[in-house]
Structures are given as C-alpha cells and as structure tokens.
Chain A
Amino acid sequence: MKEFKVLMVDDEEEFVRTLDERVKMRNLDSNVALSGEEALDILAKDAPDVMLLDLKMPGMDGMEVLRRAREAYPGVQVVMLTGHGSEKDEAEARRLGVFEYLRKPVPIEKLMKVLKSAYEKKLQDSMVAATFAEAGEFGAAQEIMDKDKKR
C-alpha cells in the first residue's frame, strides 16, 4: 500500500525519471509529466495528493500551472523545485499558494520530508472541511477551501 500519490513535473527527463524511481522506492505512488500541459491533463484525469513542479519549462511554465492548479484543484498541494528561481519568483509562488519552494539540487531526505508535510497539510485541510460539511456548515467548509486556495 503506497502512502500517497505524487505528480512530478519537469522538462528535464533524465532528472524527473530518476527522481520518480527514487520516490517509488520510498513507498510513494508517483507519476511523471514532462510539460505543464501534460501536468494539467493528468490533474484532470487522476489528481495526485501532491504535485512537485519545476518553474521554467518550455510552453506553459510552472507558475502558470501553479495558478491553474490552485484554481481548479485546491486540494492538491504544490511544491516548487527549481534550478532557476529568483526571489521574485519565490514571492509570486508563495502568493499563489505554493506549499514549499525548493531549489535544485535538493537531498532526497529533505524532499521526502517536504512531500510528507505537504500531504499532511492536504489531509488536515480535507478533515477540517469535512467536519464543517458534516455539521451542515457548508459555507464554512467552502471558506476553508477558498482560504486554502489563496494561501
């Protein structure tokens, strides 16, 4: 039984395939997308718990994928992993609600810790929202979802 599902998005195929293999060895269910467009396709069909997202990619860049993912799939926690990021990029990603912003290269132990924390955040948010929904507080549940979107 895998712990949770991760989608890894990066146009550096050698990097993302190797990382995919390492993450799978650590008992996570993992999938790979080599572009922003492919990531959105996968999100629409089979949303992961956490998305690990590169910033600079040909075509749709990571910031745009983050923007759309937070809008359409607020339950998916997003972790940025980039070799290109400036402080301005980091500030923008945080404004859009990224869970964590990491710079390449990152040790696997640190990455695993961040992915697990992101998953715990997702669980926490959905539990709180479910509690409000059970109590008939649909407005409050929606508010939590909206707040999470803006986080």
Chain B
Amino acid sequence: MKETLFMGRITATVTHEIKNVLAIIRESGGLMEDFLNMVEGDNFKYKDRFHKIISNIEDQVVRGDAISTLLNRFAHSPDADVASENVPDLLDQMIVLSARLAKAKEIVFKSDKDSGVILISSDPIRIRMLIFQAMDVLMNYCKPGQTILVNSKVNDSKLITLEFSVDSKTQVLQEFEQIILSDQWKDLISTVESLDSKAFINPENGTLRLELRSNDNR
C-alpha cells in the first residue's frame, strides 16, 4: 500500500507540473496571436497559416489538460481505502487513459453518455484495475477496427452492471470462447472476486459483463 501511495503521490505532483507547462504554452501561443492580430490587412503573407498553427497549439493544450486532469484523479485513487465514485466517470477515465493502448490495437471504446450518475462505494484502485482488465482482455481478443460499446446501469436491487459489447459480433465468437481459458481472464476473476462482484463472458452475443456490488449494498 505504501508503494501505491508513493506512485500516486509522485504521479499527482507531476500532473500539476504538466498543468504549469501547459499554461505557459497556452499563454505563449496566445501572446503570438495577440501580436498577429495587430498586423493590419495583408501586411503579413503567412497570417492565416500562423492563426491555424496557433489554433492547433490551443487544441493540443486542451487535449493535454484533459489527459492530465484525468491522470491526476487516477493518481489520487490510492488516497482512500474506500471511495464513493460515479461509475460512468470511472469508465471515461479509464477509456481516456487507455486510449494509446487501444489505438495501438486499432480498437475503439465508446461509453454510453446517457447513463446518468451511478454511484459505487468500493476500493478505488481495484475498481479501476477491474475496468482496465476487462478492456485489456477485449483489446487482445477483438479484431483491429472493432468498436466496443460500454453501457453502465443500475437495477432496483442496486446491482451495477457494466456491459462491454462488440459491434460486429459474428467475427468474435471463436475468440471469445478462448478468453475464459486465458491467464488474463483468471486475473480479472481474481480482482472481481476481491470486490465481491461477478464477471461473465458471452460468446453468443459478444459481450463481457461485470456485475458490481457497492460496499454499502453487501
């Protein structure tokens, strides 16, 4: 646990420093734009090109800011043994932070934006690890170019379900049958059991389902 806290503390500190770097880049780009706006008429041949470059800088600052904000939240996850968090936010956090890995496999994860607020009280590190393990299994067993839709919902008994479904199901049946035999799946089962929850794989309809129990509903 001390090791996790150490990793989290250093990562959180670095995300703050990245924010300072982004702030300097934003202001420097902004100052260039201020000067550019002082150029009247057609006195500067590359004015439009410069505006486009400055706009690209601004877009990348916004992108970097979003990533470092989510990485900061991730780094603070070891701060408490149990925390109440919004499941769709956790999902979005893990999708953004794993985007590079998914891109390398040419897989796209899309979360359902209409889930609303679904609170879960659980171990903040294990719940993130479980979501990532589910994504990681799918990244390894799905085909390049496939999109995985993730839907989160809660039923009347307060059982929270996260369902990952592959868009073109006909191609995945065989691969999905192999998932259950893999070491990755065994690791996922170990994590899900430590959270008093369950995981299911369904090769027939190409879905991976996590049934999560909140600490306050056990």
Contact = CB atoms under 8 A, between A and B. Distances in A.
Interface string B21-48: 0111111101100100000000000000
A105 B34 contact: no
A38 B82 CA distance: 42
Interface residues on B, range: 10 to 19
B19 A103 contact: yes
Contact of A83 (B20, B25, B30, B34): B20
Contacts, number: 46
B30 A15 contact: no
B17 to A, nearest CB: 8
Residue of A12, A18, A106 with highest tally of chain B CB at under 10 A? A18
Q: Is the interface of B mostly helix, strand, loop or mixed?
A: helix
B27 A18 contact: yes
B16 interface: yes
Given A105-B26, A105-B65, A22 B20 contact: no
B61 interface: yes
Contact of B23 (A12, A22, A56): A12
Contact of A104 (B20, B28, B30): B20
B24 A84 contact: no
A106 B61 CA distance: 10
Given A105-B61, A105-B65, A22 B27 contact: yes
Residue of A83, A103, A105 with highest tally of chain B CB at under 10 A? A105
Given A15-B27, A18-B24, 5 more contacts: A12-B24, A14-B28, A22-B30, A84-B16, A104-B19
